[in-house]
Amino acid sequence: MRIAGALICISLVAAASAVAAPRLHRTKLPAPPPLPTSLAVDEGEWVVRPSKTVVAAGEVSIRVYNRGMDDHDLTLVDATGATQQIFLAPGEQGSIRATLTPGVWKLYCSLFEGTPSSHEVLGMVALVRAKTDRTVR
């Protein structure tokens, strides 16, 4: 019985001291992490899946994997229509180094472009945003 009473007293003292302790608040938030300068892109039937949707403006390394059973390419197009492209057979991987200006960039497979069988029309398209500030939104 004495042990139970002692445990109750210890619990009450610990609870009272936890309640009485002042709360500390941060006065400054930590700096946000830097935006990424690289990303991976998986392609397959019928998907283009970037590992990130926001990257730092400037030089970006893009690693592309064709995980599909068909040939694919990855084409980058900016707002001015400038493009970069890499072709990949099934199971191949490759990379593109691109200088991305701030804004939205379209990533897509351009095979059979302009036809009903266009890989882009079938769903192989994604958007990536390049930003100069460090907040990811």
pLDDT digits (tens, 9 = 90+) for 12-43: 666 655 555 677 777 888 888 899 999 999 99
pLDDT at site 25: 77
Domain count, the chain: 1
pLDDT at site 106: 92
30 lies in some domain: no
Span between the terminal Cα atoms of the chain, in Å: 59
For residues 74 and 105, is the Cβ–Cβ distance under 8 A? no
User: Which of 99, 103, 19 lies closest to 60 in space, CA to CA?
Assistant: 99
The model's pTM: 0.73
3 lies in some domain: no
Domain range for residue 88? 38-131
Q: Which residue has the higher pLDDT, 61 or 135?
A: 61
51 lies in some domain: yes
